């Protein structure tokens, strides 16, 4: 049986065994509705409180300010729509985001643009890091919200969120950061970042899918997305996903404990990156430091990314092209496009994202098989073109 190597942790990460075990226990034993007054309900409520405390601790927040959602996408939707609609009456009808945000942010902005909001996407340039000057130019007295992701999912670049937040606040705008790809990989602290809203997703940090959180600074007014009951202090209607939220809580606590070891992942990532660059000619890394320690995005000259992904999969190595949402299409990555790269670089890129379970042997195996696969694909391309 050949070695299986999972290098797609930014798409999703394996559920930690401790998370799975706790969730299974809750599913079996703690079925109560947290809104019920009786003991069954109170037990479930206590589980939610415990999970909320663990998620809050991961981002240096007060637990009362954390709202559980159905994932990172919903958190992003809620933050942006919620602020846009709450501030509509005061006349702030302008929204800013970076051009390299996740689709959850970009498509929320598009939806609001169709309903009359003005939107601006900030350019990033080849560094993959948004410029402060671009934000200064874009900000107006009508700007309601600036949304800047903390770490990019495709290239891993870390944005200067704290500095950008200060500039946005000076113009009276609120600030949201999508920290889905940062949490568990680098320290995340809501006070240090100085933002008003922060999105998280459980399945990117070894928790379950379909669970996330939005941290909302106390006093920030948000229009709720869902009409219904008064769950989550009236912020999100619907009976809570108790097992999922408990799983998120366990994953968040583990992520916080393991954060000091994230540097080890950086050593593995660097080994992979250096190994590929030296073993495979015609390769280049997309994005510069600061980056999260688990991600490298590499373009392979004269190789179609999809073919490379499939060839690697046949060797038991799982990677991705650009973001998971846009794979399966030949659309170039919007992130690499925003970075201004030519087509051969935006279409030929592979994202390697490391995480729990990866080791040196797996990295060395990846470096070992790549030159052969790339050579083969390049020779096929040459033949087809003749």
Ligand X SMILES: Cc1ncc(COP(=O)(O)O)c(C=O)c1O
- Chain residues in the site for ligand X (CB under 6 A): 71-73, 76, 102, 104, 149, 153, 178, 180-181, 201, 203, 212
Spatial CA neighbour of 247 closest among 81, 39, 60, 27: 27
Name the closest residue to ligand X (Cβ). 72
For ligand X, the closer CB: 32 or 156: 156
Q: Say if residue 12 is exposed, middle or buried (CB neighbours under 10 Å; 0-12, 13-18, 19+).
A: middle
The backbone torsions φ and ψ at residue 200, rounded to the nearest 5 degrees and listed phi first, read -135, 155
Q: How far is the CB of 212 from ligand X (least distance, A)?
A: 5
Q: How far is the CB of 12 from ligand X (least distance, A)?
A: 7
For ligand X, the closer CB: 73 or 120: 73
Q: How far is the CB of 158 from ligand X (least distance, A)?
A: 12
For ligand X, the closer CB: 283 or 294: 294
CA 15 – CA 36 distance, rounded (Å): 29
Specify whether the backbone of 377 is left (phi greater than 0), alpha (psi in -120 to 50) or beta.
Answer: alpha
Q: Three-class SS string for the chain?
A: CCCCEECECCCCCCCCHHHHHHHHHHHHHCCCCCCCCCHHHHHHHHHHHHHHHHHHHHCCCCHHHEEEECCHHHHHHHHHHHHHHHHHHHCCCEEEEECCCCHHHHHHHHHHHHCCCEEEEECCCCCCCCCHHHHHHHCCCCEEEEECCCECCCCCEECCHHHHHHHHHHCCCEEEEECCCCECCECCCHHHHCCCEEEEEHHHHCCCCCCEEEEECCCCCCCCCCCCCCCHHHCCCCCCCHHHHHHHHHHHHHHHHHHHHHHHHHHHHHHHHHHHHHHCCCEEECCCCCECCCEEEEEECCCCHHHHHHHHHHCCEECECCCHHHCCCCCCCHHHHHCCCCHHHHCCEEEEECCCCCCHHHHHHHHHHHHHHHHHHHHHHHHHHC
Q: Is 278 a catalytic residue?
A: no
For ligand X, the closer CB: 32 or 293: 293
Q: How far is the CB of 370 from ligand X (least distance, A)?
A: 25
For ligand X, the closer CB: 74 or 196: 74
For ligand X, the closer CB: 102 or 345: 102
Q: How far is the CB of 73 from ligand X (least distance, A)?
A: 3
- Spot the catalytic one: 210, 325, 326, 327: 325
Q: How far is the CB of 358 from ligand X (least distance, A)?
A: 19
Q: How far is the CB of 281 from ligand X (least distance, A)?
A: 31
For ligand X, the closer CB: 72 or 287: 72
Residues annotated catalytic, as ranges: 325
């Amino acid at each position: 049986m050949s070695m299986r190597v999972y290098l797609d942790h930014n798409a999703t990460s394996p559920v930690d065994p401790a998370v799975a075990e706790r969730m299974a226990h809750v599913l079996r034993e703690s079925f109560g509705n947290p809104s019920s007054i009786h003991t069954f309900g109170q037990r479930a409520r206590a589980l939610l409180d415990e999970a909320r405390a663990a998620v809050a601790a991961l981002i240096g927040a007060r637990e009362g300010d954390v709202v559980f959602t159905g994932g990172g996408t919903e958190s992003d939707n809620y933050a942006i729509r919620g602020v846009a609609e709450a501030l509509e009456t005061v006349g702030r009808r302008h929204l800013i985001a970076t051009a390299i945000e996740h689709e959850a942010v970009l498509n929320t902005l598009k939806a609001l643009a169709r309903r009359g909001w003005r939107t601006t996407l900030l350019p990033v340039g080849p560094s993959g890091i948004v410029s402060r000057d671009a934000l200064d130019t874009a900000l107006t007295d009508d700007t309601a919200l600036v949304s800047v992701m903390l770490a990019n999912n495709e290239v891993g670049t870390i944005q200067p969120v704290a500095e950008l937040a200060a500039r946005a606040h000076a113009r009276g705008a609120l600030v949201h950061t999508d920290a889905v790809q940062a949490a568990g990989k680098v320290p995340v602290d809501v006070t240090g970042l100085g933002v008003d809203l922060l999105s998280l997703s459980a399945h990117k940090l070894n928790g379950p899918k379909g669970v996330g959180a939005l941290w909302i600074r106390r006093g920030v007014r948000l229009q709720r997305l869902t009409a219904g009951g008064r769950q989550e202090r009236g912020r999100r209607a619907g009976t809570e996903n108790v097992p999922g939220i408990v799983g998120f809580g366990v994953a968040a606590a583990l992520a916080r404990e393991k954060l000091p070891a994230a540097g080890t992942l950086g050593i593995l990532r660097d080994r992979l990156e250096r190994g590929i660059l030296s073993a495979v000619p015609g390769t280049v890394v997309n994005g510069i430091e600061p980056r999260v320690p688990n991600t490298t995005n590499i373009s392979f000259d004269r190789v179609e990314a999809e073919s490379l992904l499939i060839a690697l999969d046949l060797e038991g190595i799982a990677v991705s092209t650009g973001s998971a949402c846009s794979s399966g299409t030949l659309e170039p990555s919007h992130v690499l496009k925003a970075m201004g790269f030519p087509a051969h670089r935006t279409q030929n890129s592979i994202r390697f994202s490391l995480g729990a379970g990866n080791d040196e042997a797996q990295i060395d195996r990846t470096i070992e098989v790549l030159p052969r696969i790339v050579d083969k694909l390049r020779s096929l391309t040459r033949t087809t073109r003749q």
